[in-house]
């Protein structure tokens, strides 16, 4: 279902931004000197939007939680000296008022805040009558409806210059990334709100600078609208999230490597894609039929367990099965993350079928 959200193109300094928009700057404002030493080379590169955290929501107390409103004065200096627009995160009404008072050009709502409808509504109410671009990060949990709900609340307050920030999702499992991208969720957001710009945050997805280019390129390949990359004049000395920040020169290297692809394709390519997609459709039909057959076997196992008064879950069997599937998937060039997700889903569906059999009178 397509969601009805009233949108206007985001205007940056009087001009509608062109893709890809790049937002860069440190995770946290630490000093005026640090901001200027980062902003000047970024401005020389043509970056138009400077980002910095003023208030930092930290997982545990006693960590650096930002310099507070004092940093907004430093952001004003960046505006005056470089001509860049400045952006920061707000998490409550006080933050909104302070950001507006000091002339912040763009605000965003963070992942922890967007997961809380009460907090988002308070921010939305404080923005009524204000004309400012607002970016909404995905909630920490992978819930596209919660993300859309936060966007709708801001939109209902009269904010029409809206965009989403995809920063990945928290996961209990150990993964390659700090926050798992789960690309299918921003893709679903694009399907539900087609005209909503989506900006990917590779820094928070990766948690380290090693994979920033790969995630940035993936976002461009999906035709997303921009990138927000944490950039610091001296990343190793940063007071927060040092490992995921790059220098301005490092950012330039990432941008220079990016391949921007055309969203539209010609008729000949469409025919080739149609043939390949037809093959995929046939393979998907086979997968569904195989899964149906597999669940039929699971139901027979459920009958055997019921007749012999055996519990459904056999932990050792599940552990052994997952190990063999991981080994086979690795030999077939399939990622460990994919195999785990796939067979967890299959195993859960098998348990559901066996449960139905076990509970039949």
Rg for the chain, CA atoms, rounded? 24
Tokens read off for 123: 């921010």
pLDDT-derived band at 150 (thresholds 50, 70, 90) equals very high
- In angstroms, the CA 209 to CA 52 distance is 17
Write down all domains in the chain, each with its CATH number in brackets: 11-257 (3.20.20.70), 267-358 (1.20.59.10)
Does position 29 have pLDDT exceeding 90, yes or no?
yes
Q: Are 48 and 23 in contact (CB under 8 A)?
A: no
Does position 277 have pLDDT exceeding 90, yes or no?
no
Does position 19 have pLDDT exceeding 90, yes or no?
no
The partner residues of 22 in beta bridges, in order of sequence, read 227
Q: Are 179 and 169 in contact (CB under 8 A)?
A: yes
Does position 11 have pLDDT exceeding 70, yes or no?
no
- Kind and range of the H or E run holding 253: helix 248-257
| Strands 15-16 and 11-12, sheet pairing | antiparallel
Q: Are 231 and 238 in contact (CB under 8 A)?
A: no
pLDDT-derived band at 126 (thresholds 50, 70, 90) equals very high
Which residues 6+ apart lie within 8 Å of 176 measured at CB? Answer: 211, 337
Alpha helix locations (H) across 83-192? 93-101, 111-114, 117-126, 144-156, 184-192
Q: What is the pLDDT of residues 234-262, one digit of tens each?
A: 999 999 999 999 999 999 999 999 998 87
CA angle 83, 85, 89 (to 5 degrees): 150
Collapse the DSSP code of 45 into the 3-class scheme (helix H, G, I; strand E, B; otherwise coil) and give the result.
coil
Give the mean model confidence (pLDDT) for residues 133-150.
Answer: 96
337 compared with 39, residue with greater pLDDT = 39
């Amino acid at each position: 279902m397509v969601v009805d959200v009233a949108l206007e193109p985001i205007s940056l300094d009087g001009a509608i931004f062109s893709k890809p928009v790049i937002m860069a700057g440190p995770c946290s404002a630490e000093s005026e000197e640090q901001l200027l030493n980062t902003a000047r080379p970024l401005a020389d590169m043509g970056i138009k939007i400077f980002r910095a955290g003023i208030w930092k929501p930290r997982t545990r107390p006693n960590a650096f939680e930002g310099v507070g409103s004092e940093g907004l004065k430093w952001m004003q200096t960046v505006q005056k000296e470089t001509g860049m627009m400045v952006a920061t995160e707000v998490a409550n009404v006080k933050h909104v008022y302070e950001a507006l008072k000091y002339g912040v050009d763009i605000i965003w709502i963070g992942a922890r805040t967007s997961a809380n409808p009460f907090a988002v509504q308070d921010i939305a109410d404080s923005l009524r009558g204000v004309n400012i671009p607002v970016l909404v990060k995905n909630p920490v949990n992978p819930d596209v409806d919660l993300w859309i709900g936060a966007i709708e609340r801001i939109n209902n307050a009269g904010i029409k210059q809206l965009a989403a920030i995809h920063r990945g999702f928290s996961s209990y499992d150990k993964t390659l990334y700090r926050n798992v991208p789960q690309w299918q969720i921003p893709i679903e957001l694009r399907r539900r709100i087609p005209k909503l710009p989506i900006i990917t945050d590779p820094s928070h997805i990766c948690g380290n600078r090693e994979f920033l280019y790969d995630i940035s390129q993936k976002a461009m390949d999906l035709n997303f609208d921009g990138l927000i990359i944490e950039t610091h004049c001296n990343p190793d000395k940063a007071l927060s999230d040092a490992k995921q920040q790059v220098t301005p020169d490092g950012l330039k290297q990432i941008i220079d490597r990016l391949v921007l692809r055309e969203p539209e394709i010609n008729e000949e390519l469409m025919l080739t894609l149609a043939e390949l997609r037809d093959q995929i459709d046939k393979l998907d039909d086979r997968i569904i039929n195989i899964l149906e057959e597999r669940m039929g076997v699971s139901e027979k196992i459920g009958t055997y367990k019921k007749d012999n008064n055996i519990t459904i879950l056999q932990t050792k069997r599940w552990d052994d099965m997952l190990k063999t599937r991981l080994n086979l998937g690795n030999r077939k060039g399939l990622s460990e993350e994919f195999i785990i997700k796939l067979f967890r889903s299959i195993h859960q569906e098998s348990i559901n079928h066996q449960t139905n059999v076990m509970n039949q009178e």
